[in-house]
Structure 1
Amino acid sequence: MKAVIATTQGSPDVFKLVDLPKPVPCAGQVLIKVAASAVNPIDTKVRKAKLPMTPAEFPAVLQTDFAGVVEAVSPDVTQFSVGNEVYGFAGGFKGPNGDVSGALAEYIVADAALIALKPRTLDFRQAAALPLVATTAWLALHDKVKLDAKTKVLILGGTGGVGHVAVQLAKAAGAQVFAVVRSDKSAALAKELGATVCINLAQTDAKEVVDKYTDGKGFDVIFDTVGGPLLDAAFQMIRPAGDVITVVGAATHNLAPLYLRGANLHTVLVLIPIMFGQDREAQGLNLDAIRRLVDDGQIKPLLDPQRFSLGQVADAHRKLEAGQAAGKLVIDVSEIEA
C-alpha cells in the first residue's frame, strides 16, 4: 500500500511517499481504507519538535484525523461492520505501549474505541476535518463546563480550527456566543456560524469589552484557542468564579487576575486517550455525539478549497505553517466509490 512517512524530524521535506505492508487488525482494532486525512497544528509540531506526544522513533507515519471505510474487524469488535463509513483518530503519536501509527496511508488499523460512524451528511473530506477540532471543542464546552441560555461564552479565535466548531457547539447548547476575531471577514464568518457579537481586541481593550457586553461583570465562560496575550486577556475578562478553558497552556502566565476573581482554569488535551490509554471509550462516544449534531445541521466544518494528494503532504504542511490556510487542510488519500 502507499503511505507517507516522516523519515526523521525536521522541515516538511522529511516526508516521503513509500510502499508499506498492509496492516492487520489486532484485538480491539478495525482495518480501514482511508479516504482522507486532515492536517492539524499538532501534526506539524510533532514533525519538527520533540514533544511528549512525538513518536519515539522515526521513520513514522503521522497525522491522526481520518475518514474512511471499514475493511475488516477484529473478532472482539462488535460495534462496527465491514462497509461502515467511519471517522476518528488513527495515531501519529507516542502511546503508552509504543508509537501509534497515523493516518497517512491507504490502509490503517484503528482502535475501535477512538472512532465512530461518519456523519451521513458529510463527504469523506469534510468528515476527516472534524475529529481533533470537534472533540477538543466538545471536551471544553461539554465536559469542563455546562452551558445554558443564560451563559455568556467568549470564544478566543472564533474562526480557527477549534474555534469555528466551538462557536457552533456553544450556539447549539443555547448559550450567548461572543467571538474574538482579527478581521471584518472573520467577523462575518463567525456570525454566520452562530456568534451574536464579534470583538477585535486589537481595536479595544479587555475592560471596555467587559463593560460593554457584560455590564462590567465578566463572561461566564471563556474558551481560549489561541494562547499568549489572549489568554492573559481572558483572565481580565472572566467573571468572579467563572471558567477559563485553554488548549494552549504550554507557556508562562500571571495567574493573579484569575486568582483575584476566584475563577477556574481548565486545560484540554484531546490526545489523552492515545498518549496514555485513558478515557478511550469516551472519545468514540464524543465523536458519535458530534456526528448527531452534524447530521442535525448544527455543525459544519470549514475546509480550505485547495486539494492535496498523498504525495503532496509536504505542501499542505508548508501552507498550514505559513498561516495561509482558509479552513482545514485535507489530504486525499484513497479514492472510495460511493
Structure 2
Amino acid sequence: MRAMLLREFGDVSNFTMGELDTPQARPGQVLVKIAASGVNPVDSKIRLTHPPFAPTLPAVLGMDLAGTVEAVGDGVTDLAVGDEVWGCVGGLADLPGTLAEYVAADVRLLGKKPAVLSLRQAGALPLVAITSWMLLHERAQIQPGQHVLVHGGAGGVGHVAVQMAKAAGVRVATTVSTQEKADIAKDLGADDLIFYRDESVQEYVQRLTGGRGFDAVIDTIGGTTLDDSMDAVRIEGVITSTNTRSSHDLSILHAKGLTLSVVLMLLPMLTGQGRERYRAILDKAAALVESGALKPLIDPHHFTLDQAAQAHELVEHHKAVGKVVVDIN
C-alpha cells in the first residue's frame, strides 16, 4: 500500500511517499480502507517536537479516519466487511497512522459512520468530537440552563464544543478574533460573541453575566487564555482544558474554589485503558450528527495523500478555517 512516511522529526520536508505491506487484521482489529484522514494540530506537534509518545521512525502519522471495513479479525462481532466507519486510531506510540491507504485498527477505537455524512466529512470529526465530549460532558458535566464559555469557537475543537454545548441546552458564549469567525460561530449556534482582542475579560464577564461569571469555561488554547478562564468563571465553577503545559499563579483558583480538570484524550490510545470510551462517545456524536445538531467545519482546501505535507503546513501555520482533511482513496 501507499503511505506518507515521516523519515525524521522536524519540518514537512521529512515526509516522503513510500510503499508498505498492507497490514492484516489481528484479533480485535479490523482492516480499514481509508478514504479520508483529518489533520489535527497534535499531528504537527508530534512531527515538530518528537514528544515521548511519538512513533518510531519511519512513521505513518495521522489519527483521524473515515473509511470502509475490508477485513475483520478474530473476535470482532459488531463490525462487518463493507461497514463505513470513523474513528481516531493511531499515529502515535506503536499505533500506525492514517496517512496511508489502509490501517489495521483496534475495533474499540472505531464507530459506524453517520449515514448523513460523506466519508470526507466524517474524517474531520473523530478527535475533535471525542475531545469536546470529554471536556463538556465527562469533566464540566454541563447541565441545561447553564451559561458556558467556549474559547475559540471557530477552531477545531471549539466549533464542535459550541455545537455540543448548544445541543445540551446551555447558553453558549465564545471568543473569536475576526468577523468571519464570529459569523461561523453564530451559524454553529453560539449565543454570545466575544471579540477577545477588543474587550477585556472583566468587560465581557460584566456584559454577559452581570459580573457573576460563567458556570464553566472550555479552554483548548492554554497560556494566558487559561489565566483568563480563571477570571471568567464563576465562584466554584469549572474550567476544563486540553492545554496546561505552562506555569500559572493558582491563587485565584483557590480564592474562588474552582475546579480545573485536564483532558488528554490520547490516553486511551497510549495506555490501552478505556478505549471503549471512544466507541461510546463516537456513537453519541453520531446521534447528534444524525439529528442535525452537529456538523463539521471543513477547510475548503483539498489535499491528496501525496500532498499531506502541504496539509500539515496549513495546520502548523494556523491558516486553516475549519478542519483540514486529506483524501486518501
Residue type of the partner of 1:3? A
Deviation track 1:28-54 (CA, whole Å, cap 9, x = no partner) reads: 100010001010000001112121321
Q: Is the 8 A contact 1:92 1:103 kept in 2?
A: yes
Residue type of the partner of 1:128? G
Q: CA deviation at 1:147?
A: 2.2
Residue type of the partner of 2:238? D
Question: Could you tell me the TM-score, scaled by structure 1's length?
Answer: 0.96
Give the one of 231, 251, 261 matched to 1:236.
231
Q: Is the 8 A contact 2:140 2:239 kept in 1?
A: no
- Distance in 2 between residues matched to 1:183 and 1:149, nearest whole Å: 29
Q: CA deviation at 1:292?
A: 0.9
Aligned to 2:212: 217
- Distance in 1 between residues matched to 2:254 and 2:206, nearest whole Å: 20
- Distance in 1 between residues matched to 2:73 and 2:280, nearest whole Å: 20
Q: Structure 1 stretches of 5 or more lacking a match?
A: none
Aligned to 1:199: 194
Q: Is the 8 A contact 2:154 2:184 kept in 1?
A: yes
Aligned to 1:158: 153
Q: CA deviation at 1:293?
A: 0.5
Task: Give secondary structure in 2 for the equivalent of 1:86.
Answer: strand
Q: Is the 8 A contact 1:134 1:162 kept in 2?
A: yes
Aligned to 2:278: 283
Deviation track 1:152-199 (CA, whole Å, cap 9, x = no partner) reads: 100011110000000000000000100011111111111110111100
Aligned to 2:248: 253
Task: Give secondary structure in 2 for the equivalent of 1:93.
Answer: coil
- Distance in 2 between residues matched to 1:68 and 1:239, nearest whole Å: 43
Matched, 1:105 2:100: yes
Deviation track 1:256-282 (CA, whole Å, cap 9, x = no partner) reads: 112110010011111111111111111
Aligned to 2:110: 115
Aligned to 1:167: 162
Q: RMSD over aligned Cα, in angstroms?
A: 0.9
Question: Could you tell me the TM-score, scaled by structure 2's length?
Answer: 0.98
Aligned to 1:12: 12
Matched, 1:85 2:80: no
Q: CA deviation at 1:143?
A: 0.5
- Distance in 2 between residues matched to 1:53 and 1:223, nearest whole Å: 25
Matched, 1:54 2:54: yes
Aligned to 1:293: 288
Q: Is the 8 A contact 1:90 1:109 kept in 2?
A: no
Q: Is the 8 A contact 1:236 1:258 kept in 2?
A: no
Identity level (%): 44
Task: Give secondary structure in 2 for the equivalent of 1:100.
Answer: coil
Q: Structure 2 stretches of 5 or more lacking a match?
A: none
